[in-house]
Protein backbone atom coordinates (compact mmCIF):
# COMPACT_ATOMS: atom_id res chain seq x y z
CA UNK A 1 0.00 0.00 0.00
CA UNK A 2 1.29 3.41 -0.87
CA UNK A 3 1.91 5.98 1.84
CA UNK A 4 -0.54 8.48 0.36
CA UNK A 5 -3.33 5.91 0.31
CA UNK A 6 -2.63 4.98 3.93
CA UNK A 7 -2.77 8.66 4.92
CA UNK A 8 -6.15 9.09 3.26
CA UNK A 9 -7.55 5.98 4.92
CA UNK A 10 -6.24 7.07 8.33
CA UNK A 11 -7.67 10.56 7.97
CA UNK A 12 -11.01 9.12 6.93
CA UNK A 13 -11.07 6.89 9.98
CA UNK A 14 -10.27 9.86 12.22
CA UNK A 15 -13.25 11.77 10.94
CA UNK A 16 -15.61 9.09 12.27
CA UNK A 17 -15.23 10.90 15.59
CA UNK A 18 -16.82 13.99 14.07
CA UNK A 19 -19.96 12.02 13.24
CA UNK A 20 -20.06 10.61 16.75
CA UNK A 21 -19.80 14.10 18.20
CA UNK A 22 -22.69 15.24 16.02
CA UNK A 23 -24.84 12.43 17.38
CA UNK A 24 -23.79 13.33 20.92
CA UNK A 25 -24.68 17.00 20.49
CA UNK A 26 -28.06 16.03 19.08
CA UNK A 27 -28.72 13.80 22.07
CA UNK A 28 -27.71 16.52 24.53
CA UNK A 29 -30.10 19.10 23.11
CA UNK A 30 -32.91 16.59 22.53
CA UNK A 31 -32.83 15.56 26.18
CA UNK A 32 -32.65 19.20 27.28
CA UNK A 33 -35.75 20.07 25.26
CA UNK A 34 -37.59 17.00 26.57
CA UNK A 35 -36.71 17.87 30.16
CA UNK A 36 -37.63 21.53 29.62
CA UNK A 37 -41.05 20.52 28.35
CA UNK A 38 -41.65 18.28 31.36
CA UNK A 39 -40.43 20.82 33.93
CA UNK A 40 -40.21 24.36 32.53
CA UNK A 41 -39.15 25.85 35.87
CA UNK A 42 -35.96 23.76 35.93
CA UNK A 43 -34.92 24.54 32.32
CA UNK A 44 -32.90 27.70 33.12
CA UNK A 45 -31.00 25.86 35.86
CA UNK A 46 -30.03 23.05 33.47
CA UNK A 47 -28.83 25.30 30.66
CA UNK A 48 -25.31 25.73 32.08
CA UNK A 49 -24.85 21.98 32.21
CA UNK A 50 -26.14 21.70 28.65
CA UNK A 51 -23.55 24.19 27.44
CA UNK A 52 -20.80 22.35 29.31
CA UNK A 53 -21.84 19.07 27.72
CA UNK A 54 -21.96 20.74 24.31
CA UNK A 55 -18.46 22.17 24.73
CA UNK A 56 -16.96 18.87 25.85
CA UNK A 57 -18.64 16.96 23.04
CA UNK A 58 -17.53 19.54 20.49
CA UNK A 59 -13.96 19.25 21.80
CA UNK A 60 -13.95 15.59 20.77
CA UNK A 61 -14.89 16.61 17.23
CA UNK A 62 -12.15 19.23 17.13
CA UNK A 63 -9.56 16.72 18.37
CA UNK A 64 -10.64 14.24 15.69
CA UNK A 65 -10.40 16.90 13.00
CA UNK A 66 -6.97 18.06 14.16
CA UNK A 67 -5.74 14.47 14.20
CA UNK A 68 -7.03 13.94 10.65
CA UNK A 69 -5.19 17.08 9.49
CA UNK A 70 -2.00 15.93 11.24
CA UNK A 71 -2.18 12.62 9.43
CA UNK A 72 -2.81 14.25 6.07
CA UNK A 73 -0.31 17.10 6.23
CA UNK A 74 2.12 15.99 8.94
**Above pLDDT 90, what percent of the chain?**
85
Q: What is the tally of structural domains in the chain?
A: 1
Specify the CATH number for the domain of residue 36.
Answer: 1.20.20.10
The string of pLDDT tens digits covering residues 8-36 is: 999 999 888 889 999 999 999 999 999 99
Average pLDDT along the chain: 92
pLDDT(74) > 90 = no
| All residues at 6 or more sequence positions from 20 whose CB lies less than 8 Å from its CB, including other chains | 60
Range of the domain at 40: 3-73
Amino acid sequence: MEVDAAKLIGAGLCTIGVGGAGIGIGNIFAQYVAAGIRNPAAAPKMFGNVLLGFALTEAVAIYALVLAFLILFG
